[in-house]
Amino acid sequence: MSANAETFGRVEHANQADFARHVLQSEVPVLVDFYADWCGPCQMLAPVLDALAQETTQAKIVKVNVDQNPQLAVQYGVSSIPSLIVFQSGQVTSQHVGLASKGQLKDMLGL
């Protein structure tokens, strides 16, 4: 089983040290949720992300805590959370700030 196959069905967490492996080097599109534990809208979005991760094997869902990884937030221009960024082949292909429905997230991922 490949490393990517093992991650389907659950939301992954990435940090500065493993962001490239989880996101930039992924063979499938990756939706990255830049969030913080204290953020109410981020907490409201979490079950939507969990449900999407359970439903798809064509993309990955990765969360990045901005309090623990401020350098990643700065690198990708995150100034408000939740900030959702889709990466494909290491490149940003779509961005959204604030709450989003599962349908909006699927559209962002091209599913």
Catalogue all structural domains in the chain, each as residue range(s) with its CATH number: 3-95 (3.40.30.10)
pTM over 0.75: yes
**Active-site residue, selected from the candidate residues 28, 36, 39, 46:** 39
35 is catalytic: no
Of the candidates 31, 42, 48, 105, the residue annotated as catalytic is 42
The span from the CA of 73 to the CA of 70, in Å, is 5
Residue pLDDT, tens place only, 37-56: 999 999 999 999 999 999 99
Pairing of strands 12-13, 60-65: parallel
The per-residue pLDDT for 9 is 74
Known catalytic membership, residue 42: yes
110: left (phi over 0), alpha (psi -120 to 50) or beta: left
